[in-house]
């Protein structure tokens, strides 16, 4: 579950980030300091959930929610020190209303709500965000040859270049539509439509040659599964 934190106070963002990091299934992929910045980050990063401060200078949290457009929007949690806007918040479609300071057990209950709703409504990724330097690129899944992890960093490999991903392999795997994308080992997810050749290496291992020249070794069983799923 990927999360974006929106709050104009740096300390509040840090406290919530540290609390969320106690939950292994949650990955904080970004932070924003204002309503306009939040809308931009939501559009680019496509988080699963957003923890949104209600009272921010200039733009009210409710205005941010009402400005969201498109078929796939994140689940919104309001995080605030004030209770008086709870009814308006739920009318606007937020999933929960958390009062500051947020208690761990209250956050756990809120995340349970999000998991339950995502299990029913979560669609596969239609676009993938890649980063080069400070620039963000919107990629079509068909362009992606593979995702590879190098330590804590995940790279998106295409025919033309390599991008950094804001998501972990685990988060990507849960959103990528199969059988096009297959995780062939703990550090690599491949796009099976970019396989050029499958060659036997031994009685137990096969070599995949990808369209960008990348090579990957897989088990004989997995090579067979890939061939069956992609009708080779």
Q: Determine contact, residues 179/229, Cβ cutoff 8 Å.
A: yes
Q: Determine contact, residues 3/88, Cβ cutoff 8 Å.
A: no
Higher pLDDT, residue 124 or 68:
68
Q: Is the pLDDT of residue 91 over 80?
A: no
When pLDDT is cut at 50, 70 and 90, the band that residue 86 belongs to is low
At a CB cut-off of 8 Å and minimum separation 6, what does 204 contact?
219, 220
Q: Which domains does the chain have, with CATH numbers?
A: 2-121 (3.40.50.2300), 128-229 (2.40.50.1020)
Q: Determine contact, residues 92/62, Cβ cutoff 8 Å.
A: yes
Counting residues of the chain whose pLDDT is more than 90, the rounded percentage is 45
- Structure confidence at residue 178 (pLDDT): 62
pLDDT, mean over the chain: 86
- Structure confidence at residue 87 (pLDDT): 65
User: pLDDT tens across 202-221, in order?
Assistant: 988 999 999 999 999 998 87
- Structure confidence at residue 145 (pLDDT): 97
User: pLDDT tens across 9-65, in order?
Assistant: 999 999 999 999 898 888 899 999 998 999 889 888 889 899 999 888 777 777 888
Hey, what are 224's tokens? 């067979």
Higher pLDDT, residue 23 or 156:
156
- Structure confidence at residue 227 (pLDDT): 78
ω into 179 cis (within 30 of 0):
yes
Q: Determine contact, residues 173/147, Cβ cutoff 8 Å.
A: no
User: pLDDT tens across 169-207, in order?
Assistant: 878 877 775 668 888 888 999 999 999 999 999 988 999
User: pLDDT tens across 97-149, in order?
Assistant: 899 899 999 999 999 999 888 766 555 667 899 999 989 999 999 999 999 99
Q: What's the predicted TM-score (pTM) here?
A: 0.55
């Amino acid at each position: 579950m990927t999360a974006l934190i929106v709050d104009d106070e740096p300390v509040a963002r840090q406290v919530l980030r540290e609390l969320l990091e106690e939950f292994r299934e949650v990955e904080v992929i970004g932070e924003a300091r204002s309503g306009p910045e939040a809308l931009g980050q939501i559009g680019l990063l496509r988080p699963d959930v957003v923890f949104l401060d209600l009272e921010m200078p200039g733009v009210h949290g409710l205005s941010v929610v009402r400005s969201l457009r498109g078929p796939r929007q994140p689940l919104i949690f309001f995080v605030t020190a004030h209770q008086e806007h709870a009814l308006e918040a739920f009318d606007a479609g937020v999933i929960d209303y958390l009062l500051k300071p947020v208690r761990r057990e209250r956050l756990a209950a809120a995340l349970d709500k999000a998991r339950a709703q995502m299990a029913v409504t979560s669609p596969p990724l239609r676009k993938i965000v890649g980063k080069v330097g400070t620039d963000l690129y919107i990629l079509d899944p068909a362009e992606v040859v593979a995702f590879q992890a190098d330590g804590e960093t995940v790279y998106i490999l295409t025919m033309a270049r390599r991008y950094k991903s804001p998501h972990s392999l685990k988060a990507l795997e849960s959103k990528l539509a199969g059988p096009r994308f297959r995780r062939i080992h703990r550090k690599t997810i491949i796009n099976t439509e970019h396989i050029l050749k499958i060659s036997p290496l031994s009685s137990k291992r096969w070599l995949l040659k990808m369209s960008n020249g990348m090579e990957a070794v897989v088990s004989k069983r997995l090579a067979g599964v890939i061939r069956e799923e992609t009708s080779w």
